[in-house]
Amino acid sequence: MKVKITIVTLKEPCSACLILNNLVKEIMAKLQKKFDNLDIQYVEFSNLAMIHEIEGLEVEKFPAIIVNGEQVTAGELPDINYLISAIEWGSQQHE
């Protein structure tokens, strides 16, 4: 089954957030090669009032990574092994 990953960022991030965003994109590209069941969506907000529309977003630090509606990171570079565990957990939810 598909695992939905949502990456939430700001349209005009600070320089540190921009660096993190690019690193997260690199990690997601590697994970997409490893797993064929990922549905990765990137959401950029220019208006913070709209972020409450994202299912699973609890901590408003960016970039935020949400796996199957469950936020797994907020404002930090995620450990790739942690993300692999979250993806495997997300895959098992649908079995």
The radius of gyration computed from the CA coordinates of the chain, to the nearest angstrom, equals 13
At residue 95 the predicted structure's pLDDT band, cuts being 50, 70 and 90, is: low
What do you get for the CA distance between the two ends of the chain, in Å?
8
CA 5 to chain centre: 5
Q: What's the pLDDT at 71?
A: 93
SS3 assignment, position 74: strand
The predicted-structure confidence for 11-56, as pLDDT tens digits, reads as follows: 888 888 889 999 999 999 999 999 999 999 999 988 777 778 888 9
Q: What pLDDT sits at residue 31? A: 94
Q: 73, 21 in Cβ contact below 8 A?
A: no
Structural element, H or E, at residue 40: strand 38-45
